Structure 1
Amino acid sequence: MEVGKLERAVGSCRLCRFVDQPFLLDRVYSWLPRKVRVLAIGESPPPGRKVGSLYHLGSFDRLRLSLSLILGVGMEEVLETLKRHGVFFTAAVKCRPPDRRSIEGMRRNCVPLLQKELEILRPRRVVAMGRFASASICELMGLPPPEDLRKISWTKMVDGEIFFTPHPNYLFRFKREMCPQVRKILLRS
């Protein structure tokens, strides 16, 4: 797999002002399954001067907590569970935003990085989780945005399918009853 290309693409990008680069600091691409069946796309690393991120196992992360509920596993098992099932969790924004207001501009600048991930990883299923992930994948695929991101929707792509779901943190706070359905989308393709 071409992990080096992905790391170099993230590391060489200077389009945005950012706090740090968790995708490099936490060696995110080392968690790639041998074969990526599902590419799940979240929003961004938590904005501001924080340590946590999904892949920073030495600190608490709200996204990891939400995914543990969705997957029905302990927080410490989330990444191994995803990897074992051929799921890679990426973000629409690769670098840590200085604040929430910066995320939309950074998202637009990161679309080429997401496209590179899709080209290299070639997943059969894409799961866009939340507004920013959905905006990026729709922009790449020339699709209209989903009408309501509080529900699950899907569409076919040439060699697979795209699901649109609420963001994992939204599911954790407001829609826990949807977790079993999202678990199936992530783990069974």
Structure 2
Amino acid sequence: MTEPREVAPQARDLAGLDAAVSHCYACPRLVEWREEVGRVRRRSFADQAYWARAVPGFGPADASLLLVGLAPAAHGGNRTGRMFTGDRSGDVLVAALHELGLASQPTSTSSDDGLRLHGVRFTAPVHCAPPDNKPTTAERDTCRPWLVRELDLLRPTVRAVVALGAFGWQAVLPVLAGAGWTVPRPRPAFGHGARVLLEPVADGPALTLFGCYHVSQQNTFTGRLTPAMLRDVLAEAWQAAGGEPTRRHQG
């Protein structure tokens, strides 16, 4: 079976990388789960054909802001084939981006709904839906080369990264180091609103890493993460990426 560490470095652009990700079968447990979910389906989606494959990143190839989550939701991205699409997490995140002028519409329901992101890209350290939303350390590490290559390809334009949740934060730090940025020692701790400037190892741009509570229902339904809290982090990150978050982009 072909491993991501062999395939990912060969991707010449993000379109090629996304196509390669969608054909990944490297983790047997994740493949079995994503396909089982696609066969059994949730009752409310029983008439829909599930994507049930690895879910690539989504957003423009010249994004200056990268949002890193955890993994696709079983009945969200695993169903629709697009990150942060078809579930409550996507609803909250895209609504916040739209209010900041960084998304063309406030909803993210399906891969053909017309959503466009402006200067922002979604990705995750694990590209397959895991059982109980808990990928193993080995699965995270197997998937890591996809994210390393994604950062390599985004390097000319990306200036800020938002890690959504502690898992994303811990997963992205070694990725950033592998993609050419200096990570402080000891490694910075995750926290909502955390901000760390990472200098390049060689010639190139610096990058600012932000921490934000994940947009999961357990955070948004309990008020641990409010829409205002999310918008504040995204606005600060967009400014660090060189944008103007108060200016509306035209859809």
- TM-score range for the pair, normalised by the shorter chain length: 0.7 to 0.9
Task: Note the residue ranges of structure 2 that are not aligned, 5 or more in a row.
Answer: 1-12, 36-49, 100-104, 178-182, 242-251
1:102–1:148 distance in 2 versus 1, CA, 3 Å: closer
Look up the SS of the partner of 2:115 in the other structure.
Answer: helix
Task: Note the residue ranges of structure 1 that are not aligned, 5 or more in a row.
Answer: none
> Which residue number in structure 1 is paired with residue 229 of structure 2?
178
**Larger relative contact order (C-alpha < 8 A, sep ≥ 6)?**
1
- The 5 A counterparts of 1:71-150 are 71=97, 72=99, 74-76=106-108, 80=115, 83=117, 85-122=118-155, 123-140=158-175, 141=177, 142-143=183-184, 144-150=186-192
Look up the SS of the partner of 1:63 in the other structure.
Answer: helix
Q: CA deviation at 1:102?
A: 3.1
Structure number having the greater helix percentage: 1
Contact 2:67 2:163 in 1 (8 A): yes
1:24–1:12 distance in 2 versus 1, CA, 3 Å: same
> Which residue number in structure 2 is paired with residue 17 of structure 1?
29
Instruction: Give the TM-score normalised by the residue count of structure 1.
Output: 0.76
Contact 2:54 2:78 in 1 (8 A): no
The residue type equivalent to 1:56 in the other structure is T
1:100–1:183 distance in 2 versus 1, CA, 3 Å: closer
Indicate whether 1:41 and 2:74 are aligned: no
Cα deviation 1:20-79 (Å, max 9, x = unaligned): 3898858745x4314121111001112xxx332288289740221220343336224998
Structure number having the greater strand percentage: 1
Question: Is 37-46 or 136-145 further displaced after alignment?
Answer: 136-145
The residue type equivalent to 2:189 in the other structure is E
1:100–1:76 distance in 2 versus 1, CA, 3 Å: closer
Look up the SS of the partner of 1:128 in the other structure.
Answer: strand
CA RMSD of aligned residues (A): 3.4
Look up the SS of the partner of 1:174 in the other structure.
Answer: coil
Q: CA deviation at 1:132?
A: 1.5
Identical-residue share of aligned pairs (%): 23
